[in-house]
Amino acid sequence: MAPKQKFAEGEKVLCFHGPLIYEAKCLKSVTKDKHVRYLIHYAGWNKNWDEWVPESRVLKYNEANVQRQKEVQRAHSTQPAKTKKTPSKGRKSESAATGTPGKEEAATPAGKDVETPAAGKASKTSSKDAPADSGSDQPKKKRSRLDLSIESEEQYLAKVEVKIKIPEELKVWLVDDWDVITRQQKLAILPAKLTVEQIVDNYLAFKKSSKTHNQAKETVLVDITEGIKEYFNSTLGSQLLYKFERPQYSEILQEYPDTPMAQVYGSIHLLRLFSKMGPMLAYTALDEKSLQHVLTHIQDFLKYMVTNRSTLFNLQDYGNATPEYHRKVQ
């Protein structure tokens, strides 16, 4: 039975793009492998930036979500310069980023480059696909236009599904996590005792200590691990949280405005990322060889998490939500 579609063709919506939310319109929808995707046009932007997105990135256009859009924009604008990309020519203006349409010929929604961190870092071969403001001296304008042009429906449907196999030893923690958050209505204690950044850095140190380690492997490992952090930072707010956690996320953004979320959240949210990363990777510009290379490293990282699961996962890392918090959720 095909899943029910939440949004109609032609409907005005809001859509996540990286960490920000934009006014948009659903042009078309397709269902593949029981997953619904929508062809999105960002209001005020050239149709070259239309794209297929999963349903999880689309929001109903209503007063509550418009307010959420403004809150996300305010939180993003307070991030330190070192965590942002340098604006490139044609980048959407600040007024446009908060919902006011810019000129139709503008190049890209701000934050467009945020969504391809791991893809652009996966290997030396894929680094050529980096955004124009990445600092590289090599010409990339023509390549960028080719990679980011809209796919036809046929191209979308022809894409191969990318699956990341979550080890059974870790699946049980995803199930427990769902139960603790949604049924028991508890929250992860933040900042985490062991943050995503610390876990990733510990994995890198572990791999460096291997007897088979060399400089070439280190370069690739650094790219992969940095990519994981960036993927986490850019997708946490839009794809990795349960509804019950959203008020907590808003509070964290206000309390740590200058801090990447990989330095606040911990292992269970990182595990959620890997459970959703397959479809994300399927829609990157990676060629098949580079994609398989990335998947090999991700599976190795998951093996590392299995080995260290007694340190990474503990039900004591959750706490009860206050009555005041419960009122916010309602």
C-alpha span between 71 and 67 (Å, rounded): 6
Task: Spell out the alpha helix ranges (H) of 37-87.
Answer: 63-77
Are 238 and 280 within 8 A, CB to CB?
Answer: no
Q: What is the dihedral of CA 298, 246, 170, 309, to 10 degrees?
A: 90
- Residues 145-193: tens digit of each pLDDT: 334 345 555 555 555 567 899 999 999 999 999 999 999 999 999 999 9
C-alpha span between 256 and 287 (Å, rounded): 37
pLDDT of residue 52: 87
pLDDT of residue 108: 40
C-alpha span between 90 and 112 (Å, rounded): 12
C-alpha span between 19 and 115 (Å, rounded): 8
pLDDT of residue 79: 57
- pLDDT category of residue 138 using cuts at 50, 70 and 90: very low
34, pLDDT greater than 60 = yes
Greater pLDDT, 158 or 132: 158
Average pLDDT, the chain: 77
Q: How remote is the C-alpha of 327 from its chain's centroid? A: 28
204, pLDDT greater than 90 = yes
Please tell me the least confidently modeled range out of 26-40, 196-210, 303-317: 26-40
pLDDT of residue 51: 87
- Residues 291-301: tens digit of each pLDDT: 888 899 999 99
Greater pLDDT, 39 or 290: 39
**Which tokens hold the place of 269?**
């949210």
Angle at alpha carbon of residue 213, lines to 116 and 262, rounded to 5°: 35
Are 122 and 221 within 8 A, CB to CB?
Answer: no
- pLDDT category of residue 283 using cuts at 50, 70 and 90: low
The pTM of this model reads 0.58
Please tell me the least confidently modeled range out of 128-132, 139-143, 205-209, 238-242: 128-132
Q: In sequence order, which residues have a C-beta less than 8 Å from that of residue 152 and are 6 or more positions away? A: none
Greater pLDDT, 151 or 89: 151
Question: Could you tell me which residues are beta bridge partners of residue 29?
Answer: 38
Q: How many CB atoms lie within 10 A of CB 72?
A: 21
C-alpha span between 171 and 149 (Å, rounded): 36
3, pLDDT greater than 80 = no
- pLDDT category of residue 139 using cuts at 50, 70 and 90: very low
C-alpha span between 268 and 274 (Å, rounded): 10
pLDDT of residue 210: 86
Region 211-230: mean pLDDT is 87
Percent of the chain with pLDDT over 90: 46
37, pLDDT greater than 70 = yes
- Residues 100-127: tens digit of each pLDDT: 333 333 334 443 333 333 333 333 233 3
DSSP string, 263-309: GT-BHHHHHHHHHHHHHHHHTSS--HHHHHHHHHHHHHHHHHHHHTH
Region 300-304: mean pLDDT is 97
Percent of the chain with pLDDT over 70: 72
